Amino acid sequence: MSEQAKKDIDNTMRREKVIKEITSELTKGKKYKKYFEKYNPVSTKSFIESYARRKAQWLEWGPNYLQRDINEKLRFREMASTFLWEIQQKKLFNLQCKWRAGEVVLPGIEVSWDFLKWEQKIKTCPYIDAISQEEFDLYKQYMTSESYQPKHFMSSWQGYDFYRTEYLNGGESMMPTPAWYVYHDTMMGTGNLFMLPNIKGDKEQFYLNLVKAEEDEKAKKSKGKKSKKNDVPAIVKAINPNFDGKPPIIPDYKTKEEFIKKFEDKTLLKYFKAMEQEDDTWQEDQALDDCLELFSYEMIDENMQIEFKNPDDLKDSIFRAAADFELTQITNCLDAAYEEYQMKASNGISFVENDEMVEFADTTFNSIINFIKEQILHGRELNGEPRNFDY
C-alpha cells in the first residue's frame, strides 16, 4: 500500500474515533438530556449522528478555513504593499537608461542583464533612494486614474529593449510597456530617457555577435561529427551541467492526449476528453466562480455596488466588476502600506524579499547572467581587447 493511502486510512480512523467520542458525549452527556427530550427520539438520533460528523470536520478543517479567511482579508493590504515596489522598479529602470548611456556607473552592475537580477530583488536594491512622499503621491494618483492597467503578464519591469522600441517606433509589442511607466513618463517628463543612446547595450551586442560568429564557424567545420550531447545549447549546459540533452515531458493537455492515443484504448480517450478541459476554458470557469465568491461575500461585507459595465458581454462585465472591486480595495490600502514602508525605512528595518524570488535570482538567473558575462568577455578577447567590462 502506498504511503498516501496509509495516511488517508490513518486519518479516516482518527476522524471516526473523534466522531465516536462526540456521539458518545452527546448521547450520554447529562447537559444535553433536557434539550433532546423535547424532540422525537428518532430525529434526535439522526441529529446526533449528523452533528458529530460535522463537528469532527469543523475541528479538523476549521482552523485552516479560519486562517484562509484571515489571509483573504489581508490580501488587499499585502497586494498594496507589493504594488508600492513598482515605484522603485521605475526608478531602477530610469537608472538603467542612464547606465546604458554611460551617464552613471553603478558598482556591481557589469552588464545590462544585472538589472534583471535586481528586478527580482528590488526590495534590497542598493542603487535607488527610498520612496519619497512625492513619488508615492504620484503612484497613488496613477492607481486611482483611468490610466491604471495591470502589468501585462509578458512584460518585465526591467525589459529595456521592447519598451525603448515601442517608445521610439510606436505600436505595441508582445511585451507592452507597463502603464505605470507611461504614466510616470507623461507626468514627470522622463520619457526622454529613452532618447539617450544605448551605448552599453550596443557594445554588449557587438561582443556577443563576435562569439556567435565564432560558434557558427566552428559548427560549420564540425558538421556531421556532432554527438547528441553537443547539441545542448551552451547556455543550458552552463545552467545545468547534468542536463541530458533531452526535451522535458510536460503533463499538459496536448502531451496527455498524445500519450493516450499512442498507448491507451479509445474509452480512456473519451473519458479524458470528457473530464479534461483545455486549460484556458478551465481557468475561465474557475475565474468566474471566484468572481461570484467575491460578489457573495467580500463585496457584500463592504457594501459595494456591483456594476455590469459592458452591456454586450455578461462574462466581461463580471470580470470587470470583480477587478474594479479589487483595485478599489488595493488603492484603499495604499496609504497604510506606505506608512508601514516609511516606518520600516526610518527605523532601519530591512525589507525581506520572497525566498523563492531570491533563490531564483541567486541561482538559476545568476547562472544565466554569468554565462552571458563569460560570452561578452570572450567577445572582448576575440576583438583583441582585455577581459574586463571597462568598455
Partner 1 sequence: MAKRVKKEEAELSDVGKLMIKNTKEDDKLKQEILKDLKKNPKYKEYFSTYNKQTVEAFIKNYAEAKWRYLKYGEMYLKKEDEEISRYKNRAERLFWLIQQKKLFNLQCQFRAEKITIPGIELCEDFDYWEKAIKTCPFLDRVSEEEFNLLVEFINSGAYDYDNDYEYCDWQSYQKSFGDDDWKKELPDWYDFFDDKMGTGYLLDLPDIRGEKELKYTRLASKQRMEDYKKEHPEYNPSAKSDPRPMMGYSDDFIVDFIKRFDDPVLLKYHALMDRSDYDDSGYPELSNALEDLKNAEIPIPVAEGGSWQEVIITSMAEHEVRQLNKALPIVFDEYLFRLDNNISFGYSDAELEEQTRTRKMIDDHHRKSVLQGRKLNGEPEDLNF
Query: 69-128: which residues touch partner 1 (CB under 8 A)?
Result: 69
Q: Is 44 in the site for partner 1 (CB under 8 A)?
A: yes
Find the helix packing angle between 364-382 and 113-120, rounded to 10°: 170
Tell me how far the alpha carbon of residue 122 is from its chain's centroid: 15
Stretch that binds partner 1, among 31-39, 141-149, 351-359, 361-369 (CB under 8 A): 31-39
Candidates 80-88, 295-303, 339-347, 375-383; binding stretch for partner 1 (CB under 8 A): 295-303
Of 187 and 268, CB closest to partner 1: 268
Size of residue set near partner 1 by CB under 8 A:
83
Mask of contacts with partner 1, 334-373, x by CB under 8 A?
----------------------------------------
16 or 278: whose CB is closer to partner 1? 16
> Quick check: 9 binds partner 1 (CB under 8 A)?
yes
Asked if 154 and 118 touch (Cβ cutoff 8 Å), the reply is: no
d(CA 281, CA 310): 21
Return the residue of 105, 168, 174, 275 that touches partner 1, per CB under 8 A: 275
Give which of 223, 232, 219 is closest to 371, Cα–Cα: 232
Write the CB contacts of 304 (distance below 8 Å, at least 6 apart in sequence): 325, 328
Q: What are the DSSP calls for 135-153, one per residue? A: HHHHHHHHHTSTT--PPPT
Q: Which is nearer to partner 1, 223 or 262 (CB)?
A: 262
List the one residue from 104, 186, 226, 271 that touches partner 1 (CB under 8 A). 271
Residue 174 touching partner 1 (CB under 8 A)? no
- Alpha-carbon distance of 58 to 64, in angstroms, equals 10
Residue 76 contacts residue 338 (beta carbons within 8 Å): no
3-state SS string for 252-321? CHHHHHHHHHHHCCHHHHHHHHHHCCCHHHHHHHHHHHHHHHHHHHHHHHCCCCCCCCCCCCHHHHHHHH
Between CA 133 and CA 363 the distance in angstroms is 35
Compose the 304-333 pattern: x for residues touching partner 1 by CB under 8 A, - for all others: --x-x-xxxxxxxxx--x------------
- Contact call for residue 303 and partner 1 (CB under 8 A): no
Q: Is 220 in the site for partner 1 (CB under 8 A)?
A: no
Among 24, 43, 124, 145, binds partner 1 (CB under 8 A): 43
User: Of residues 129-148, which lie at the interface with partner 1 (CB under 8 A)?
Assistant: none
Residue 47 engages partner 1 in binding (rule: CB under 8 A): yes
**Minimum separation from the CB atom of position 328 to partner 1 (A):** 16
Q: How far is the CB of 363 from partner 1 (least distance, A)?
A: 17
Minimal distance in Å, beta carbon 42 to partner 1? 7
Q: How far is the CB of 333 from partner 1 (least distance, A)?
A: 23
Please report whether residue 266 would count as binding partner 1 according to CB under 8 A. no
Quote the cell numbers at residue 333: 490600502
Contacts of 151 (CB under 8 A, 6+ apart): 157, 178, 179, 180
Considering only 221, 223, 254, 262, the residue that binds partner 1 (CB under 8 A) is 262
Helices (H), 189-252: 199-221, 234-239
| 3-class DSSP assignment, residue 343 | helix
Length of the chain, in residues: 391
Q: From the list 75, 140, 256, 373, which residue makes contact with partner 1 (rule: CB under 8 A)? A: 256
The verdict on 167 binding partner 1 (CB under 8 A) reads: no
Residues 284, 335, 339, 359: which binds partner 1 (CB under 8 A)?
284
Residues whose CB falls within 8 Å of the CB of residue 142, separated by 6 or more in sequence, listed in order: 148, 179, 180, 183, 184
Tell me: does residue 51 bind partner 1 (CB under 8 A): yes
Smallest distance from the beta carbon of 340 to partner 1, in angstroms?
A: 28
Under rule CB under 8 A, residue 251 binds partner 1: yes
